[in-house]
A and B are shown apart, each in its own frame.
Chain A
C-alpha cells in the first residue's frame, strides 16, 4: 500500500505501474479531475489545503480499511495539494485484485470515505476573478460541503 499527499502533478501511468501481483486479474484506476464549473459558476482553478499530518494519517487508515475489507494490499492513493488548474488530477486511486468486483468496491469505498473524512479543503477560483472555500464559505462552515470528484 502507498498513500501520500503530493504537490507535483500525478502521473496516471505511475499510479498503476507494477501494481498488480501475478494473481491479480483486475487493475482499476480512478482519477478525480478539476472541472471547469461548480454550482453554475465557471471555475478557473482550485487551491487545495490540508491539515497535512492528519490527512496523511487518515489516507493511510482509509486504505488499510479497504485492504482489510476487500482483501488486497495492492492499493495506491494520492491526493494533490496546492494550486491546480482545470483538467489536472486532484485525486488518484489505484487498486489491483484477483477479480474486478473487489477492485470497483475498494476504489468506491476509498473515494467515498476520503470525501467524508479527509481534512482537506478547496478554494475555488472563478473566471470572474473572485474565489471562495467550497463548503466553508463565509458562514464559518455552517453550509454543507459539496464534493468535486
Chain B
C-alpha cells in the first residue's frame, strides 16, 4: 500500500523535500514507517527515532497502524504563539 509523507520546517530543510510517497507492507505502524525512512541513511537517518507524527491531520501514537492512502506528517517541535 502507498502512503504520502509530509515534512515541515526544519525537517523539510534537513531533507531537502517537503513530501514523498512511500510503499509499505500492510500492517505497518508509525514506528515501523519511521524506522524504514531512517534506514535510508543520509539526512533521513538524522530524523528523530520517535518523532511527533500526525496521521490525516491528527496526532498519532507510534503503534498506530497505517492504512492505504494515509497522509503522515512529521511534526518538528512546534513554535506557534
Residues of A within 8 A of B10 (CB): 121, 133, 136-138, 140-141
From residue B7, how far is it (CB to closest CB) to chain A in Å?
10
Size class of the contact patch on chain B: 20 to 34
Is A15's beta carbon under 8 Å from chain B?
no
Interface bits B1-44 vs A (CB < 8 Å: 1, else 0): 00000101111011000000000000000000000000000000
Is B66's beta carbon under 8 Å from chain A?
no
* Complex contact A51–B8 (CB within 8 A): yes
Is A144's beta carbon under 8 Å from chain B?
yes
Residues of A within 8 A of B47 (CB): 140
In this complex, the member of B9, B47, B48, B51 whose beta carbon has the largest number of chain A beta carbons within 10 angstroms is B9
* Complex contact B78–A120 (CB within 8 A): yes
* Complex contact A90–B78 (CB within 8 A): no
Given A49-B9, A121-B10, A141-B51: A135 touches B57 (CB 8 Å cut-off): no
Identify B8's interface contact among A49, A117, A139, A147, CB under 8 A: A49
Contacts of A119-149 to chain B: CB distance below 8 A: 119-123, 133-149
Is A95's beta carbon under 8 Å from chain B?
no
* Complex contact A115–B78 (CB within 8 A): yes
* Complex contact B81–A147 (CB within 8 A): yes
Is A57's beta carbon under 8 Å from chain B?
yes
Is A54's beta carbon under 8 Å from chain B?
yes
* Complex contact A145–B81 (CB within 8 A): no
Q: Which residue of B lies closest to A143 (CB)?
A: B77
Identify B75's interface contact among A32, A51, A139, CB under 8 A: A51
From residue A137, how far is it (CB to closest CB) to chain B in Å?
6
* Complex contact B48–A140 (CB within 8 A): yes
Q: Top 7 closest A-B pairs, CB basis?
A: A136-B10, A120-B80, A121-B9, A145-B77, A135-B77, A141-B76, A149-B81
Q: Which residues of B approach A to under 8 Å, CB–CB?
A: 6, 8-11, 13-14, 46-48, 51, 54, 57-59, 73, 75-81
A-B contact pairs, 6 of them (CB 8 A): A51-B8, A114-B81, A135-B79, A140-B76, A141-B48, A148-B79
